Amino acid sequence: MKKELLITLSLTASLALSISSLSSCGKAPRSGAARVSLPSGGTVDLELVNLPGGTFQMGSSKGAETEKPVHSVTVNPFAIGKYEVTQAQWESVMGESNPSTNKSSKDLPVENVSWNDIQSFLRRLGNGYRLPTEAEWEYAARGGKAGEFYFGEDAAKSGEFSWFNGNSTTTHQVGTKPANPFGLFDIYGNVFEWCEDDWFQTYDGAPVDGRAWIAAPRESMRVLRGGSFSADEVSARSADRARNDAGYRSADVGFRLAKSLP
């Protein structure tokens, strides 16, 4: 029998707040629970958090050229995974086929999954679930904070908040480090997370409305965010960007879900 997990969909007091307003008022999105029926039958429980739409400064003037220019982006309300997708969730949707390298716990993030693999997962999951856009991912990762890290500017504190190569050699169960101000766990470290977007070398010409930046025709490279257990603390920042081919698989690459809201 397939293991069932929980989806958290919550309402915030105002979906119209900007990210700066949300930070200053000190309110974080709250969580609730709902169960998702799969199109092919059965159910899966996932945990998501509803985030308000808002405006933020995307990128970093202190980072690599790929993180520039810093630009203002406005995102619509959306839901994003409270945790990285776990191996238990993957198996609930895809059957017993678990591609992960570290299988010591079902609560570990699923890894060794390509962007293309995830498209198959999303088709089976249905119900409007998708990968986050790169802008949505950074907005969520910042948690209302404008600095290099949601916990401040001191990279030496990274070990308190993320699994990276300074404190880890493999994946860890999701949710074992503190959540960011939006209540999201492992937004830094553990595994890199795929985004919907194609890779562009800089933000010149990037959308300012939070939508995925997609070439026509599509490029082969996709965006990865958040760093991982195998990367350094510089990668575990809100603005850091990485990329790889859509077919790339690795023991330090996974994903989290997103969903549009009215």
* Lowest model confidence (mean pLDDT) among 19-23, 208-212, 228-232: 19-23
pLDDT score recorded for residue 262: 85
pLDDT score recorded for residue 29: 74
Q: What is the CATH number of the domain that holds 239?
A: 3.90.1580.10
Residue 2 lies in a domain: no
Residue 13 lies in a domain: no
Identify the residue whose tokens are 């915030």: 12
Question: For residue 132, what are the domain limits?
Answer: 19-260
Residue 4 lies in a domain: no
The DSSP bridge partners found for residue 198 are 222
> Where does the pLDDT of residue 129 fall: very low under 50, low under 70, confident under 90, or very high at 90 and above?
very high
Residue 9 lies in a domain: no
Is pTM beyond 0.95? Reply is no
Structure tokens at 65: 């050229």
Residue 78 lies in a domain: yes
H-state helical runs in 130-243: 134-142, 158-161
232 residue type, one letter: D
Residue 5 lies in a domain: no
The DSSP bridge partners found for residue 73 are 56
Residue 8 lies in a domain: no
pLDDT tens for each residue of 52-90: 999 999 999 999 999 999 999 999 999 999 999 999 999
Q: Given a cut of 90, is residue 194 above it in pLDDT?
A: yes
pLDDT mean over 126-152: 97
Q: Count of domains in the chain?
A: 1
pLDDT mean over 200-225: 97
pLDDT mean over 143-147: 95
Identify the residue whose tokens are 């600095």: 147
CA distances from 181 to 16, 30, 65, 174, 185 (A): 18, 11, 27, 17, 10
> Where does the pLDDT of residue 25 fall: very low under 50, low under 70, confident under 90, or very high at 90 and above?
very low
Residue 6 lies in a domain: no
pLDDT tens for each residue of 235-259: 999 999 999 999 999 999 999 999 9
Average pLDDT over the chain, rounded to whole?
89
> Where does the pLDDT of residue 23 fall: very low under 50, low under 70, confident under 90, or very high at 90 and above?
very low
Helix, strand, coil percentages in the chain from 3-state DSSP, rounded to 5: 15, 20, 60
